[in-house]
Structure 1
């Protein structure tokens, strides 16, 4: 993968909690060009040095980082960066995690496994969201508005107090008896109304 004049490009990132980059620099050893990030940005866009490094690297270069967490904030972030560098013909080397180096068959395999895990995570999150919506709908949380207005509920109370059967009141209001009972008890969607 390495071209004839490939450079070794170092990338270090110090978090707000640990402003000491000496350990990372020592681990990296001699590099042709160093990009050093001082911010603890959660967002890739906050990390100016990372962006500059991605623009700087050329086919045949190797990006050397102490560990994956210095480069990426999540598995998904890491995989996106690996893919971006791979497209440019740039290898990625992790001092602390050589098993993830992109220029080895083991590294390729490990990253494939990571990609599968990240995909599973995203799928699980989506499924949980979908389940949550189904449960919420079942509980009636997602129903847009209560079928009866506060005025109608008040009117129903008055009629029932006058002795009109609840079944008739419900029929007249064109709602089910359950809806009427919920409205009268101030339960479910009617908790806020009554």
Structure 2
């Protein structure tokens, strides 16, 4: 019966990158053949900030499958990952990871492996972040560090066009994964964007 439900269900692909300057091509290739591909450009730190994932989880029905390229595309921390999986399984929705097809979310062994994989991935990200912060601190102390602008000139021009077409600034900032203050600075050519404006 369960196998029949799975055959009748739809397969949704979920692809995510943290910012607009990252590329979704590898994930699109890995998820080729799904019925519907949902893409999102937002940090994976919290599910609350990922509107498209929340909508997908609400929309998916029993017998459907949500497929991602890897576990860190679905969540960036172990607790959030397990909560998402539990919520989907409770609805009868299966979860698949292309890079690690052996991780079955429906068995206790598979869940144990997912927990271990997710924990190591989280540890690696935190270690990388610590090294980045240490490098930045050293560069700042030497007077060599200046954070690059978050928005490229093409993105600023596109933002201007969309705002002139009536799209709210808050929405444009959200879709560019920047704060409203950053968007305002870019549009006005102030701060780090003064040179680009000149």
If the TM-score is normalised by the length of the shorter chain, which range does it land in?
0.5 to 0.7
Q: Which runs of 5+ in 1 are unaligned?
A: 119-194
Q: State the match for 1:36 in structure 2.
A: 39
Q: State the match for 1:5 in structure 2.
A: 8
How many angstroms apart in 1 are the aligned matches of 2:41 and 2:115? 30
How many angstroms apart in 1 are the aligned matches of 2:27 and 2:112? 26
Q: Deviations over 1:97-151 (max 9, x none)?
A: 1222325675245247679x79xxxxxxxxxxxxxxxxxxxxxxxxxxxxxxxxx
Q: Of the candidates 18, 22, 36, which is equivalent to residue 19 of structure 1?
A: 22
Number of paired residues?
118
> CA 1:91–1:55 in 2, change beyond 3 Å: closer, same or farther?
same
* 8 A contact 1:10–1:33 mirrored in 2: yes
* 8 A contact 1:91–1:101 mirrored in 2: no
Q: Of the candidates 26, 36, 58, which is equivalent to residue 55 of structure 1?
A: 58
Q: State the match for 1:81 in structure 2.
A: 84
The yes-or-no answer on 1:96 pairing with 2:99 is yes
Q: Which runs of 5+ in 2 are unaligned?
A: 121-198
How many angstroms apart in 2 are the aligned matches of 1:109 and 1:8? 24
What is the CA-CA distance between 1:79 and the residue it aligns to?
A: 0.4
What is the CA-CA distance between 1:73 and the residue it aligns to?
A: 1.4
How many angstroms apart in 1 are the aligned matches of 2:105 and 2:47? 21
Q: Deviations over 1:5-47 (max 9, x none)?
A: 2110100001227521010010112111121111125221110
